[in-house]
Structure 1
Amino acid sequence: MAGLWDRYVVPRLIGFCCTQPPIMKRRARVVPRAHGRVLELGAGGGANFALYDPAKVTKVEGVDPSPGLLDRARDAAKAEGIDFDIKEGVAENLPFADDGFDTVLATFTLCSVQDHAQSLAEARRVLKPGGTMLYCEHGAAPDTNVAKWQRRIEPVWKRIAGGCHLTRPVGSAVAQAGFSIVEQDRGYMEKTPRWAGWVEWGEARI
């Protein structure tokens, strides 16, 4: 039953939840900053594709482990005037050589990878020297009462939402992975439960 849920329900659930107006508003602050050859982690669904600046990117490559979301991404890619190449893969083991990308983008993705630290290490590996890491992720809230509810809800939430974590750090994890954060912002999304609404976005470099 869990396998059927993950294969058929989770892609629809993620596709719906991750394209709500408060989330798309945050995506729109980050995605247009991408430049050159871009790698998008968790590209399934294609929610970011219309937000890229065609004048700044040469190609967008992406990985996602979900066949259902990959189908959505490929359909979305056809509607945009950018060279997209989306393939099945996981952020913890990227099928790319070292130092190959100008930008790595992660939006509402690092919450659900199996190994948070390894995924960020892989992002750093495939970036060119001086490359840019762009991120926009929900995660651990700084308020004690909200964080308490995140810890309570997370075990159930992970089961129904494709392994999505509520308590992972965002900006601090990027910094611990060896990136230098050059710009960042954070806060609660409007019209969103606070336990799911703490978001941090930023731009980091190596």
Structure 2
Amino acid sequence: MGFYSKVIIPYFYDFSMDSEQINKGRQNLLSKVTEENVVEIGFGTGINLKFYPENVKHIIGIDANEGMLKQAEKKISNSKIRVQIIHQSSEKLPFEENSIDAVVSTYTLCSIKHVESALREIFRVLKPEGRYYFLEHGLADKPFTQQLQHILNPIQNIWADGCNLNRNISSIIAESGLRIIEMKNYYMKRDPKIVGYMYEGIAKKGIAKND
């Protein structure tokens, strides 16, 4: 991991991804977390910590970027939540099958290289009634915007350190075996449509979408 990924990107992320409009989505999603113990993949710089409800007591944060985790240290020390950090990719999670109550990801699926593997891992480790809470940007709903996303994705992938504009989040979640039980899509206000189409929702293991 080079200087750009390890130093520049974490500082940029911590500044740009802690905005009022982005945090509205974080707060809305994380307020629905009912479990005490949570695994957060793509833990990043720890921005989500201030939005978890009081019932959350323990978080295992997983991230492959050492620079991101370094930036998170102060937020972790100031949090009332007990946080355990694991420095590794989410493509292979260090947990037994059917052992995790809840998994959270925000602005993460866009940048995992083998995202299908990560989602299959989430399915594997979740308990039968476990929940996956997600807030992700991805492929828009309008054909013209989709075309722009496909065209500009190689550039985005380079300058944003592996971030992809054009992943169909709901489809790749469904392909993992998880079933989406709640989801809303919307465009972020004041953001370009190519980066601001959001997927916010909850999926469960082995539960039909209309259940």
TM class, shorter-length: over 0.9
1:16 is aligned to 2:5: no
Aligned equivalents of 1:99 and 1:192: distance in 2?
38
Counterpart-to-counterpart distance in 1, 2:32 and 2:119: 19
- Alignment partner of 1:119 is 2:127: no
Task: Please give the alpha-carbon distance, in whole angstroms, between the structure 1 residues aligned to 2:29 and 2:104.
Answer: 9
Q: Give the unaligned 5+ runs of structure 2.
A: 206-211
Instruction: Provide the residue aligned with 1:63 in structure 2.
Output: 62
C-alpha displacement of 1:16: 2.1
SS at match of 1:15: helix
RMSD (CA atoms): 1.3
- How far is 1:191 from its partner? 0.8
Residues in 1 aligned to 2:68 and 2:125: alpha-carbon distance in whole angstroms: 23
Matched position secondary structure for 2:2? helix
Distance apart, 1:11 and its partner CA = 1.1
Partners of 1:162 and 1:33 in 2: how far apart? 30
Q: Identical aligned pairs, as a percentage?
A: 30
Question: 1:146 maps to what in 2?
Answer: 145
Residue 30 of structure 1 deviates from its aligned partner by 0.9
Give the drift of 1:110: 0.5
Report how many residues are paired: 204
**Contact between 2:6 and 2:68, CA under 8 Å: does it hold in 1?**
no
2:174 counterpart letter in structure 1: A
Give TM-score scaled by structure 2 length.
0.93
Say which SS state the counterpart of residue 133 (structure 1) adopts.
strand
Cα displacement (A) at 1:157: 1.0
Q: Which moved more, 1:12-21 or 1:109-118?
A: 12-21
Runs of at least 4 residues off by over 6 Å: none
Describe the SS at the equivalent of 1:99. Answer: coil
Would you tell me which structure has more helix in proportion to its own residues?
1
Equivalent residue for 1:42? 42
CA shift digits 1:45-70 (9 cap, x unpaired): 0010011112x223110100111110
